Amino acid sequence: MSTLPFIPDTAPFTAEQRAWLNGFLAGLFSRQPAGSTPPAPVPSLVPLTILYATQTGTAEALAKKAAKTAAQRGFSPAILDVAVVTTDALAAHSNVLLITSTYGDGEPPDSAKALHTALASDSAPALASLRFSVCALGDTNYTLFCQAGKDFDAYLEKHGATRVHPRADCDTDYDAPFETWLNASLTAFAPAASGPATSAPSLDTSPSSLVIPSGYSRLAPFPAPVLVVRPLNAPGSAKEVNHVEFDLSAAGPTLAYEAGDALGVVPQNDPTLVSEILSALGADGEEAVVTPAGELPLRRALTEHYDLGKPTPALLALLGLADPSLPATASPLHDVLDALLAAPDRPGVTKLVTNLRKLAPRLYSISSSPRAHPGRVHLTVGAVRYAAAGRARNGVCSTFLAERALALGAVGVFVHRNAAFRPPADPGRPMIMVGPGTGIAPFRAFLQERAATAATGKNWLFFGDQRAATDFLYADELNALRAAGVLTRLDLAFSRDQAEKIYVQHRMLENAAELYAWLEAGAHFYVCGDASRMAKDVDAALHEVVASAGRKSPAEAAAYVQSLRAAQRYQRDVY
C-alpha cells in the first residue's frame, strides 16, 4: 500500500505554501488512469499549525517531532516560531498545537514575549474559530512550574478559543507525557483522520546500551571519556568553577556540535547522599527494584536513575507530608532525605522508587569551538554547594563533574542544539557579548570560532565576577585574543574589588555611546548567565543605552530592542 507524500516542515516554503502543496499532492495522488479500478477515497489533509516557544531548542525539537507524527496521521502540519506570530495572524488559524518552555521566574521564552504580552491584553482579537491544545515544558524544582504554558492556555481560552484537549505540564522527564498529550490532541482535532494512538518504544538507557547505530541523543547518550577537570579560580576565591573536557573523537559525526550549542551530561548522585537515604530506609542497598533500565540493586538505582532532589508531590503524599495549602515547590523539604527524615513512617523501597522522578540530564553551554578543538568539547561549570537546614547540599551534576567524573572515566553526554544562539552568519558583523561568571562559556566558543574562521567582524566582551585576582576566568586566553586582535574590546567588572559593587550592566552604561554605535552598525547583542537577576539588569541597561545614546523615548527604546529581537540580533542563553 503506497503512502501519501507530503511536504516536510524543513522544506523552504511558508506555512501557507506548504499547506497548499500538501493539498495539491493529496489530489494528484488520488487520481488514477482512466479505466482503472477506482481507488479508495483519499481523505483531505487536516490543517494543523504547530507553534513553538523555545529558549534552548527543546520546544522546537518537540514541534518537529509533533509535525512528523501529525503528517503520518492525516494532517498538513506547519511549524511556526511564535516570534513571527501576531494575534491577528493567530486568529486566522483553525487548529493549533502550542509547545512552550518556561524560564527564569515563570517567564515565557524571549521569542514568545511579544505574543504573550499581546494575548494578556483585553484588546486582543477574538479567537472564536481557533481550536487549541498546549504542551508546557518546565521543571518542578521551580516555584512557577510551567507558568508560561499555563498563561498561554488561559489567554487563548480568555479570547474565545476552544481547548480540544487539556494542557500537559511536563517536567524534565517529558518524553512519555509529551507523547500522551500529542496522541490525544491529534485525536481530538480530527478523530477520523487520526489513526490509532501509538506509544513510542521503550528505550534501554543502561550503560551497556549507550552506543546505538543511529547516533546519540538524550535517550541514548555517548559514553565520553573525561580528559580534563581543572579549577579556573585561584586559591582564595569564594567560588568553584571548573574547566571540563570530554573526548568525542570516537562518536564520529553523529555527535557534531556548533558554537552556541549545549552539552547534555548524564550525572550520578552523590554516594554519601545515597548512603544516608539507605540508612533512613533501613536498607542495605542490595534490595532489587525495577527501574527504567530493568531490575537493579537499590543502591545503583538511587545512584544512577532517580532524582534525589526536591521530593515529588506523590512522595510527599506517600509519606504523609503533603500540605494542601502549599504548592509542592514551596515545601520546606529540600530533598528526598529531608522528606524521609521528617516522615512518621518508613516506606517500602518499591513504593519509594515508584514515587521518585527520573534523574534528568543537565545542560551546559559549550565553551569550545569544534574548529578550534576537533574531537573534543569543553564545559565551564560552577560547582553548586550550600547549606540548608543544618546539612551541606551539593548540586547534582556540577559536583559530580568536579569530584567523581574523572575517576569514573566516561560520562554519558549528548549535544543539545540551540539554533537560536549562534555567532552572526555574516562574519563581518560586529558582536557584543555579555557573559559574567560561567556566562563566559559560549562566548569563549564564539571567539574561538571567529578566530578559526578568520571572521572580520569586531568583537566586544563584557565579563565580570567577584575579584580580578581569583575569578578572572580564562584570563590568559582572553588577553591573548585581545593581543591578536580577535577580541576588539574587553570591559571588566569585578564587584568585590572596590567599596561600591560594579557589574557588567554598569560597564554597558559607561560606554553607552559606543555600544549604541555598534548596534547601529549592525552588531549582534548576546547575553549568557543568570536569568532572574543579571539578564534582567542587562536588559534594562540595554534599554537605557538605546534611550540615552539614541535619544529615544522609553517606548521608542523598547521598540528598538524588540526590533533587535525580531531580527535575531538580540539573543540570550539564560538559565
The label of the residue with cell 544512577 reads: 304
Residues 475 and 554 both lie in one domain: yes
Place of cell 559606543: 514
Q: Are 50 and 79 in contact (CB under 8 A)?
A: yes
* 318, 456: one domain: no
Q: What is the pTM of this model?
A: 0.82
In a domain, 1, yes or no: no
- pLDDT the model gives residue 200: 34
Beta bridge partners of 245: 228, 378
C-alpha to C-alpha distance for 379 and 370, rounded to whole angstroms = 13
Q: Which of 415, 402, 338, 324 is nearest to 370 (CA)?
A: 415
pLDDT of residue 478: 98
Q: Helix, strand, coil proportions of the chain in percent (round to 5)? A: 35, 20, 45
Q: Are residues 124 and 226 in the same domain?
A: no
Do 150 and 26 share a domain, yes or no? yes
What's the angle, vertex CA 49, arms to CA 47 and CA 55, rounded to 5?
165
What does 298-340 look like in DSSP terms, one character per residue?
Answer: HHHHHHHTB--SSPPHHHHHHTT---TTS-GGG-S--SHHHHH
The one-letter code for the residue type at 44 is S
Question: Do 435 and 411 belong together in one domain?
Answer: no
Alpha-carbon distances of 293 from 120, 201, 400, 414, 450, rounded to whole Å: 44, 13, 21, 18, 43
Q: Do 227 and 247 touch, CB atoms closer than 8 A?
A: yes
What is the model's pLDDT at position 222? 96
Tally of domains within the chain? 4
Q: Which three cell numbers stand for residue 380?
A: 565551564
Which phi and psi (to 5°) does residue 228 adopt? -145, 135
Of 354, 377, 397, the domain-final residue: 354
Contact 144, 28 (CB under 8 A): no
Dig out the grid coordinates for 528 from the structure. Answer: 549568557
- Say if residue 365 is in the same domain as residue 222: yes
The neighbour count for residue 500, using CB atoms within 10 Å, is: 6
- Cα–Cα distance for residue pair 435/504, rounded to 1 Å: 8
CA–centroid distance for 30 within its chain: 42
Bridge partner list, 528? 573
For the chain, 575 residues long, give each residue's pLDDT as a single digit of tens: 344 455 665 555 554 445 545 544 544 443 444 444 444 444 578 899 999 998 888 899 899 999 999 999 989 999 999 988 999 999 989 999 999 999 877 889 888 988 999 999 999 999 999 999 999 999 887 778 899 999 999 999 999 999 999 999 998 889 899 999 999 999 999 764 544 444 333 333 333 332 333 479 888 999 999 999 999 999 999 999 999 999 999 998 889 999 999 999 999 999 999 999 999 999 999 999 999 889 999 999 999 999 999 998 899 999 999 876 666 556 688 899 999 999 999 999 999 999 999 999 999 999 999 999 999 999 999 999 999 988 999 999 999 999 999 999 999 999 999 988 999 999 999 999 999 999 999 999 999 999 999 999 999 999 999 999 999 999 999 999 999 999 999 999 999 999 999 999 999 999 999 999 999 999 999 999 998 899 999 999 999 999 999 999 999 999 999 999 989 999 999 88
In this structure, what DSSP letter does residue 471 have? Answer: H
Write down the number of H helices and E strands in the chain: 20, 21
Task: Look at residues 221, 240, 184, 209 and name the one whose alpha carbon lies nearest to residue 69.
Answer: 184
Q: Both 157 and 240 in a single domain?
A: no
What whole-number distance in Å separates Cα of residue 385 and Cα of residue 241? 11
31 belongs to a structural domain? yes
161 lies in the same domain as 259: no
CATH number for 510: 3.40.50.80
Residues 181 and 70 in one domain: yes
SS3 of 493, please?
strand
- Element spanning 401, H or E: helix 396-403
| Contact (Cβ atoms closer than 8 angstroms) between residue 489 and residue 478 | no
Which of 138, 169, 189 is the endpoint of a domain? 189
**Residue 194, domain member (yes or no):** no
Position of cell 538559565?
A: 575
Domain contains 423: no
Residue 373 lies in a domain: yes
Query: Any idea what DSSP says for residue 486?
Result: S
**Cα separation of 418 and 344, whole Å?**
46
The answer on 313 and 230 residing in a single domain is no
In a domain, 391, yes or no: yes
Phi, psi of 484 (to 5 degrees): -80, -5
Name the residue range of residue 511's domain. Answer: 431-574
Q: What is the CATH number of the domain that holds 275?
A: 1.20.990.10
Beta carbons of 464 and 436 less than 8 angstroms apart: yes
The C-alpha cell of 86 is what? 501576531
Instruction: Give the pLDDT of residue 56.
Output: 80
| 290 lies in the same domain as 310 | yes
> Which of 416, 313, 440 is CA-nearest to residue 368?
440
- 424: in domain: no
Instruction: Give the model's pLDDT for residue 34.
Output: 41
Would you state the pLDDT for residue 329? 58
Boundary (domain end) residue, out of 354, 373, 406 = 354
445 shares a domain with 376: no
Tally Cβ neighbours within 10 Å of residue 456: 11
Domain with residue 238: its CATH number is 2.40.30.10
Bridge partners of residue 440, in order along the sequence:
none
Distance CA 199, CA 193 (A): 18
Q: Cα(305)–Cα(461) distance, rounded to whole angstroms?
A: 40
In whole angstroms, what is the distance from residue 152 CA to residue 133 CA? Answer: 10
What is the rounded CA–CA span in Å between residue 314 and residue 326? 14
CA pair distance 512, 506, nearest whole angstrom: 10
The continuous run of DSSP H or E covering 559 comes out as helix 554-566
Q: Please report the pLDDT score of residue 537 as a whole number.
A: 97
pLDDT at 81: 92
